[in-house]
Amino acid sequence: MEIAAAIRLQKFLAQCGVASRRAAEQLILDGRVTVNEQQVQQLGTKISPCDRVCVDGVTVQREKKFHYILLNKPPGYVCTSVDPQQRPCAIELVQKNIHERLYSVGRLDFLSSGAIIFTNDGDFALNVAHPRSNIEKEYIVETSRPVPDPVIESFAQGILVEDIRYKAIQIKKINPTTVDIVLIEGKNREIRRVLSFFHMHPVRLHRVRIGPVRLASLKEAASRPLSPLEKKQLMHL
């Protein structure tokens, strides 16, 4: 294993394509990582060029080839690599012809559909997923009944739901039961929580854009590589 200099363990795991850096930290805390056959659970531990790093007993090495894949996720798929309930995993739709281990950048919940990016580049994943990058996510949301103007105004101005503040960067009606919503931070199930607060429920929640990357004509369950320009734009937003 070649490492140019001492490096933090979680960063090295991300560069190996094991998981995003944040998820790699959880692997360490869970006791699933060893360095030279010794379990390591201390975040910030640094490793040297001669150290042997294993996750769940399997030696890991830095990736030599990186992938950046956009998937149009169908509803009814989870974004984890393994699901205890044995529901279908979105990774299965993109992993077929790729030997390197991929993981999703952020999540879409089980019932939601649309744009999600998969990669094995931990630094890229951290940059795109982190709120400080201010990357917009755009959703088309169809609801079970007409959306009242006060709902739109409240979400645009910012609303407190169960002590958490939610705010859309942009929200506009497409028709009485369909809205276009743009978020930046994208807290867990944000749109569903806000609509539920107003006793409304999405019939369809579909993400159409992540920053400059648009689904456009990409069919459901289909995927494509990000263009070099899209990758560059995401890294510099």
pLDDT at 99: 82
pLDDT in tens, 10-21: 888 888 878 778
Indicate if the pLDDT at residue 3 is higher than 60: no
pLDDT at 227: 95
Average pLDDT for 32-59: 90
pLDDT at 133: 84
pLDDT in tens, 173-230: 999 999 999 999 767 789 999 999 999 989 999 999 999 999 999 999 999 999 999 9
pTM for this prediction: 0.80
Taking the CB of residue 183, how many other CB atoms lie within 10 A of it?
Answer: 21
User: Which residues share a beta bridge with 118?
Assistant: 69, 104
Closest CA to 29 of 39, 37, 38: 39
pLDDT at 129: 83
Question: What topology does CATH give the domain 68-132+213-236?
Answer: Alpha-Beta Plaits (3.30.70)
- List the catalytic residues: 109
Which class is 7-59 in CATH?
alpha beta
pLDDT in tens, 110-125: 999 999 999 988 888 8
pLDDT in tens, 136-165: 999 999 999 999 999 999 999 999 998 999
Per CATH, the architecture of 136-210 is what? 2-Layer Sandwich (3.30)
pLDDT in tens, 72-124: 999 999 998 888 888 999 999 998 888 888 889 988 999 999 999 999 888 88
Average pLDDT for 33-44: 92
Tell me the pLDDT of the chain averaged across its residues.
90
Q: What is the CA radius of gyration of the chain?
A: 20
Taking the CB of residue 14, how many other CB atoms lie within 10 A of it?
Answer: 27
Angle at 36 between CA 31 and CA 64, to 5 degrees: 90
**Cα-Cα-Cα-Cα dihedral of 67, 215, 199, 158, to 10°?**
80
> Do 68-132+213-236 and 136-210 have matching folds?
yes
Q: What are the domain boundaries of the chain?
A: 7-59, 68-132+213-236, 136-210
